[in-house]
Chains A and B, each alone.
Chain A
Amino acid sequence: MLFNSLDFAIFLPIVFGLFWTVGRYSAKVQNWILLIASYIFYGFWDWRFLSLLAFSSAFDYFVGAALYKQQDNRKRKMLFWSSVAVNLTLLGFFKYYNFFAESFVNAFSFFGQQVSLGSLQVLLPVGISFYTFQSMSYAFDIYRRELEPVKDIVPFMTFVAFFPHMVAGPIQRASFFLPQFLTQKKFSYELAAKGLKIMLFGFFMKVVVADRLALYVDAVYGNVDMHTGWSYMVATLFFAFQIYGDFAGYSLIAIGCALLFGFYMSPNFNRPYFSGSFRVFWSRWHISLSTWFKDYLYIPLGGNKGTKARTYANLFATFLISGLWHGANWTFVVWGALHGAYQIIERTVNNTVKIKLPKAVSIVLVFALTCIAWVFFRAATVQDAFQIVGTMFTNLGESVHIGDIGIFAFSVTGILMLLLIEISMEYYPNVTLLNHRQAPVRYATMVVMLAWIITLGVFDGSQFIYFQF
């Protein structure tokens, strides 16, 4: 079920009503309602994969319990690695089998050897990368003795499957999020109202900005060979805002939706395109995933505790794996590698050159380099990406593809609106219309935003980009 679907518009009020009426007397009933609702939500895509979700959750629940009881370090390690192995095997099989099989065959044929590995018609379960990571964090936290296991399996299963964030995050750390399922929720008007306002802005980012931009971006990136460098530049700029609107929009809807049920989630985006460095960028972009990789991969690899070379190697490896996590395609690996390289270069330059660029220049520079990396993220193949980047730098051409001028005009309007809102949030945080002291201003803002969504949103039931990851 998609957030931007009528199914969800019917589903959410029903679950909300049940949760706060039938479930209001006990945390147990509340968890059962959310668990059933989450499985229905997920089952709308493909009910067959519910078993996978249930298996992954149940396995980590039992590993967590065993880990906690076990005192022998060797056995604890074995239990911990069994959780990692099972989750990564599920992820590896469903998401990466064909990718690795194909790459293996290609690598051999490059050296003149013919190897045959059958490709499987494997359907990618939606959100598998998110819920396996979420589930794994439980075993991690118990292994590191940062969390006690839950006694009841229902809160744990609900924590993994909680519908607002199950399919595309934000990935919540077990130690932060799971305890919230153990206490009974009391309805709070303030929380619910805040949640609805956050959801409203999320829908604006998704249907007014991201889905509108997608129409242009798809037209250009879907026809590599046919466009000028200028067109690729515009399409890439649009894509930068499309993916931001899409994913940040989804995250806001998820966070707002969780608040409706009294759950707090950590934020996932913090106006990343105002970053003056890549280090800052990654503390503002997909924060939940960056934190996950930092805590469960970068630091266990040694983090920045070793030599400079070792730190850089850890950093690069983390970004490479993060790239691969995004999708079974070399384009994502190159994207990750580019961001790894950006960070290493940035650190090296900062350590050697003592010149500080003006903030505005740094922001533009980081944004421009991020856009180059986005080309690899969006292109269908690495060859296409290189061709696009090459065309942008060597053959700008004389014209820009506009396509339908109405769509183009609304795309630009969407970006400008988003920028205006983000600039105000970044530099004038006290200017807030949605939370204005005076009720008429608040009401007017909400009505205008709703009207804007209805009138300029794209309602073609488009998927969120991050569902595929």
Chain B
Amino acid sequence: MPKKSSRRRKPVASHKSRRKAAPSKRKRPARRKPLTGWRRFVNWRTILLGGFVLTVAWVIYLDVVIRVQFEGKRWALPAQVFGRPLELYAGATLSSQSFREELEQLGYRYAYRVSEPGTFSQSGGEFRLYSRAFHFWDGDAPARLMDVQFDDGMVQTVQDVKDGSELDIVRLEPLRVGGIYPSHREDRVLVKLEDVPPLLPKGLVAVEDRDFYLHHGVAPRAIARAMMANLKAGATVQGGSTMTQQLVKNFFLSNKRSLWRKGNEAIMAVLLEWHYDKDEILQAYLNEIYLGQEKSRAIHGFGLASHYYFDRPLQKLTLPQIATLIALVRGPSYYDPLRHPERLRKRRNLILDIMAEQAVITRDEANQAKTSGLGIARGRAGDTHYPAFMELVRRQLQRDYRKEDLTSEGLRIFTTFDPRVQQASEQALRRRTQLLDMQRGLQGQLQGAVVVTDTTSGEVLAVVGDRQPRYAGFNRALDAQRQIGSLIKPAVYLTALEQSDKYTLATSLNDSPISMKGPEGTIWSPKNYDDKSHGTVPLYSALVHSYNQATVRLGMDLGFERIADTLQRLGAEREIPPYPSMLLGAIGFTPYEVTGLYQTLASGGFHTPLRVIREVMTVDGEHLRRFPLEVEQTVDPAHVAVLVSALHEVTKTGTARSLQHHLPVGLTVAGKTGTTNDQRDSWFAGFSGEHLAVVWLGRDDNQPTGLTGSSGALTVWADIMGHIPTRPLPAPVTDKVAYYWIDQSSGLLSEAKCEGAINLAFIEGTAPQEHSACRESQTDSGSWFKNLFNR
């Protein structure tokens, strides 16, 4: 994308068309050689009058153009994006430490005397808290003085201090996650003139436009001065444009220089000065001026530039940093801090000298500042710590809301963002990728992505799109479409289990080698990961140990169409290719899409579209459309329960058994590992009773990483689940399903006491009838498993 957006291009285009039309009309009559009578009639007075009328019309046109631009920019408040509010109630799973962290994140101050909103005190597990008032879309939450007691990782009581009454449920104000402009792809951090460090506007005026407060938009003296300087030097060394002219130029960014253009800019500058006062123009300048380019994204305005170059808000910049930004005004690419640091440093020092000359700063201050380095710390180009999540918010807004609604300013967007889950996900991904990267000698090439949702509601709690989560670059969670490998297997096995008269978890499958003709006559013979064939195996075992040969055989028996249909019912929107390799996941999905598929399994067969926006409010508190929780049963919950009992076994005795060392005791989970050819992709998708998390690790250049699903992504997943309070898998309650002890190797009915017995679910009446050798007379169907779940 060029530096300017198409939105801005439009007025330029209309310029051009007029530019061609207008002068020709004026000049043509003079050049022609018409009849003599005509010549007398069309005298110079008429030409003058015509020219005058045209000029006036032209100026009026320019006036409209520039005012529309200026007004459009001036009040453009970003939409405020909020996370989920923390709900406090007796029984809420929340440790006192997490609570304190959340309070600090919300900007609550620790105080000995809690006497005003936004303060708290803590003594062990007891908090006194003065909450801030907040206007939720569905009602006001007043500021409230309360005592909150924690014990055993839970909220015990919430009490109103005033009257001692117990509060059933209290919502704290949500965390502001960031600001976005939902209707376009451009981020800005708008600043108000009174909020910026005074040195910035003073320095700008000193360097760019000394007569700013005196002129009326153009400064003939400055132009003359610049022309002289340029003549002397034999090149353009000085510009004569006022800041007002520069602002106009930025509105219609174009690199073309022409006299016609300059003339128009000058007229518009005068018009701007006529309509608006100096401070308004200066503020617009601060927010509009072009200061850099990050790939496709133009960095406009000092607010955003400050984050981009120094990773801190404008208010916190030092003198040399302010001077550096002023230096960039003249040519962000010519003075690019990365490519031409020396050039930029020189110009910064020149700026400091000018500031001292103009008595904006003292000579000493200038000299002192000149000794410091540039201190560039590339930060996030945007007003948020969570660029990956914000990108999802932006996309869902654009998908679900009308454009007219989104252009209204100062929207308040309430999202499902959970700061604690996000933090756990970021930390887990960062820590594990660093570690794995080092162990495998990947030289910083290992990348990853995480999506975490609530299993019931499909609400997206956290999104990480880069191992450096603050970096607003390629969002792998949403955009990295990678082969999913064995993550597809649950869909294959579910397709089988749905034919419960034909397939159960104990049905025998054939895991012997298989070859088939692929497209273009090639022979395809998939191998098992351990390169062995396992003969006849029970169905559950083929899934739990992720046997490829058995899966392909099963899939060929079931047929591609049936499996594609299952995938679609789980929520896949992509076309499923009817190739055998599809059965082993040779099909690309993004981590976000995979999350959608597993969501249906995690919520027991109910397809729940992933949701990131709860409500949107206008700046006046008016409530825009709401997108409620949606559920649609697309798979029989009984069949899902059977599948989940096997996916739980994956995490106990299967490919993800290492989870047993990672997770807290009693936290039962279900999941599946995924590894693709040559270990290019490492996946883990799994869920507890409350959270679903999907993790992908791999390289952007799609080279091998040496990681399997369990040696890579699983470790990140385990760290996340181990660090957030979550509930174990719920016990399935459907009457259609019963649990039986099954002998691992034979798939025959066994007994809890028997070695190698595992507990699996069967649709009522389909459990194996034959007994294993070990099984004793009495049956104790499933009580252990149910107890485990009911804990």
Q: Do A and B bind each other?
A: no
A: residues with CB less than 8 A from B are none
Measured CB to CB, the residues of B under 8 A from A are none
